[in-house]
Amino acid sequence: AQSVAQPEDQVNVAEGNPLTVKCTYSVSGNPYLFWYVQYPNRGLQFLLKYITGDNLVKGSYGFEAEFNKSQTSFHLKKPSALVSDSALYFCAVRDRAYSGAGSYQLTFGKGTKLSVIP
Partner 1 sequence: ETGVTQTPRHLVMGMTNKKSLKCEQHLGHNAMYWYKQSAKKPLELMFVYSLEERVENNSVPSRFSPECPNSSHLFLHLHTLQPEDSALYLCASSQEAGGPGWDTQYFGPGTRLTVL
Which residues would be at the binding site for partner 1 (CB under 8 A)?
4, 9, 32, 34, 36, 41-46, 49, 51, 90, 94, 99-101, 103-111
Q: Which is nearer to partner 1, 70 or 99 (CB)?
A: 99
- Rounded to a whole number of angstroms, the minimum distance from the CB of residue 90 to partner 1 is 7
Task: Give whole-number Cα distances, 49 to 14, 40, 63, 117, in Å.
Answer: 26, 22, 11, 27
Which amino acid makes up residue 105? Q
CB atoms within 10 A of CB 27: 20
- Rounded to a whole number of angstroms, the minimum distance from the CB of residue 104 to partner 1 is 5
CB atoms within 10 A of CB 20: 14
Q: Which is nearer to partner 1, 74 or 81 (CB)?
A: 74
Do the beta carbons of residue 79 and residue 62 sit within 8 Å?
yes
Q: Which is nearer to partner 1, 50 or 78 (CB)?
A: 50
